[in-house]
């Protein structure tokens, strides 16, 4: 039985010889290729999560107002970044496709024009946000007790955001060619610097005065800037395909149309996701302090698993685009199926850890027995949710790599922005399940996204999209 199961992971089962359109790597080679792109992206996300937790702990030592001042900036920050992240998905898909076609001139033109678009869009946007930061944060819910601190912190974040947006664009091109190691190294160095500078500038060290929350802002701004220059160097000196000496800075209508078509769909998807998450979190918050505290801890745990699946998604997007560019839809489908198999293995591990350690982990985070008891039960739902969460990210990664973002946007509109808030309200309040209802809604949401994206993957329609 085990031998039969192992055989289903082999390349001869995934892509039978009769369906091959050309040579294919061995089973060992193709899994290694996939994982080599996935693991740096995963480690980047986990490192970011760790560094964020350390920074929050340092700011938290300054008091509740300081912590609130940093936290209130997170939502405006996400809104400001949604535009470049949408365009970045388009850059990844187009760069991967052009690499597969070995059209390196156009591939580098896509990178250059993406960078130029980012500069033209973000310079005026960030200038306006910098000038209007006080009313923006007030609208976001900042209180009078910490609004001045929030503005002082946020001004440095907005300056750094210019370099962060450019870094996102450079990273998107590197993902497209499969060079996620350069992104991981740049972010590792930048995030370590952020922690060291935060400690030094927040609390002071020797002749360096304690700047408090302003020091945290300066450290983050410096980190964003360093990461950008490290990625710039990686493209200039380390990547054999991307180069500032090839391609054109002059806007090309065909390239702009591709960015608009894919990026516009991605923008819609992210807008729906932001709305759905806002409504979801607002309903959870109304369940009370115990429910909200438990939910926050559980979301941090599920975010750790999310980065493993996201690494697979990046790898799938990169190899899908490259394979379709080589006119090898058979290989594109094979890489997708490999991603699904790795996702299933990770999901089993996640299930065992969540289910088996549900009592232990809450002992670390809280001594509140109500939170402990509720959290241990919620982690059972998390364990089951790990399967659809990983699978839907892998499937959507393939679809995005193929440029099928409009389909992803359509099911995101229905599932995340419409269905999830409704079913969350019904389960939490109408039917009285409380926080259990919120996590049952999350499980249903992830399962529906898996069903929609998995059906599209199996249909093969994405293999014929031209970008």
For residue 114, pLDDT beyond 70 = yes
- Is residue 207 very low, low, confident or very high in pLDDT (cuts 50, 70, 90)? confident
The burial of 401, by beta-carbon neighbours within 10 Å (0-12 exposed, 13-18 middle, 19 or more buried), is given as buried
For residue 63, pLDDT beyond 90 = no
Task: Return the DSSP state at 205.
Answer: B
Contact 385, 446 (CB under 8 A): yes
Task: Return the DSSP state at 145.
Answer: T
Contact 227, 368 (CB under 8 A): no
Report the candidate in 153, 152, 162 with the shortest Cα–Cα distance to residue 128.
Answer: 162
pLDDT the model gives residue 273: 85
Residues 46-59 pLDDT 10s:
887 777 777 777 77
Residues 333-348 pLDDT 10s:
999 999 999 999 999 9
- Is residue 366 very low, low, confident or very high in pLDDT (cuts 50, 70, 90)? low
pLDDT the model gives residue 292: 77
Q: Quick one: average pLDDT of 273-299?
A: 81
Strand partners, 208: 205
Residues 413-438 pLDDT 10s:
899 999 999 999 999 999 999 999 99
Residues 117-151 pLDDT 10s:
999 999 999 999 999 999 988 887 777 888 888 89
- Rounded distance, CA 288 to CA 337, Å? 42
**Inter-CA distances, 80 with 73, 102, 161, 183, Å:** 11, 34, 9, 21
- Is residue 367 very low, low, confident or very high in pLDDT (cuts 50, 70, 90)? low
- Is residue 364 very low, low, confident or very high in pLDDT (cuts 50, 70, 90)? low
For residue 6, pLDDT beyond 70 = no
The helix (H) or strand (E) run that includes residue 203 is helix 180-203
Can you give the pTM of this predicted structure?
0.88
- Rounded distance, CA 310 to CA 277, Å? 18
DSSP labels, 11-67? HHHHS-GGG-SS----HHHHHHHHHHHHHHHHHHHHHHHHHHHHHHHHHHTT-HHHH
């Amino acid at each position: 039985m085990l031998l039969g199961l192992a055989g289903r992971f082999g390349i001869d089962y995934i892509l039978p010889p009769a369906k091959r359109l050309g040579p294919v790597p061995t089973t060992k080679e193709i899994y290694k290729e996939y994982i080599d792109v996935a693991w740096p992206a995963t480690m980047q996300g986990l490192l970011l999560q760790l560094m964020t937790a350390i920074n929050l702990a340092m700011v938290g030592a300054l008091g509740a107002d300081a912590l609130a001042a940093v936290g209130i900036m997170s939502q405006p920050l996400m809104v400001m970044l949604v535009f470049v992240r949408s365009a970045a998905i388009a850059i990844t898909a187009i760069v991967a496709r052009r690499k597969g076609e070995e059209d390196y001139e156009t591939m580098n033109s896509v990178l250059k024009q993406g960078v130029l678009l980012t500069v033209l869009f973000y310079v005026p946007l960030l200038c306006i946000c910098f000038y209007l930061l006080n009313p923006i944060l007030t609208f976001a819910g900042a209180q009078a007790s910490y609004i001045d601190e929030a503005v002082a912190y946020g001004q440095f974040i907005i300056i750094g955001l210019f370099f962060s947006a450019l870094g996102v664009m450079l990273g998107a091109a590197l993902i497209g060619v499969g060079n996620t190691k350069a992104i991981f190294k740049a972010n590792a160095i930048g995030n370590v610097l952020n922690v060291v500078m935060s400690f030094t500038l927040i609390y002071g060290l020797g002749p360096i005065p304690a700047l408090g929350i302003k020091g945290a802002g300066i450290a983050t701004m410096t980190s964003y800037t360093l990461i950008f220059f490290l990625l710039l160097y990686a493209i200039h000196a380390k990547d054999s395909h991307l180069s500032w000496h090839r391609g054109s800075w002059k806007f090309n209508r065909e390239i702009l149309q591709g960015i608009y078509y894919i990026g516009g769909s991605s923008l819609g998807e992210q807008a729906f996701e932001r709305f759905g998450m806002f409504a979801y979190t607002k309903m959870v918050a109304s369940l009370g302090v115990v429910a909200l505290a438990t939910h926050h801890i559980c979301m941090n745990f599920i975010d750790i698993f999310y980065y493993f699946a996201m690494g697979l998604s990046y790898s799938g997007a990169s190899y899908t685009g490259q394979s379709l560019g080589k006119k090898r839809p058979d290989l594109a489908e094979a890489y997708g199926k490999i991603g699904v198999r790795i996702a299933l293995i990770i999901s089993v591990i996640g299930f065992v850890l969540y289910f088996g350690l549900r009592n232990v982990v809450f002992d670390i985070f809280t001594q509140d027995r109500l939170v402990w008891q509720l959290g241990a039960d919620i982690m059972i739902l998390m364990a089951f949710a790990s399967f659809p969460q990983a699978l839907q990210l892998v499937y959507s990664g393939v679809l995005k790599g193929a440029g099928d973002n409009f389909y992803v946007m359509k099911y995101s509109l229905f599932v995340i922005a419409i269905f999830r808030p409704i079913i969350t309200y019904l389960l939490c309040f109408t039917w009285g399940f409380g926080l259990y209802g919120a996590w049952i809604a999350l499980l249903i949401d992830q399962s529906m996204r898996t069903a929609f994206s998995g059906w599209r993957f199996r249909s093969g329609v994405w293999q014929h999209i031209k970008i």
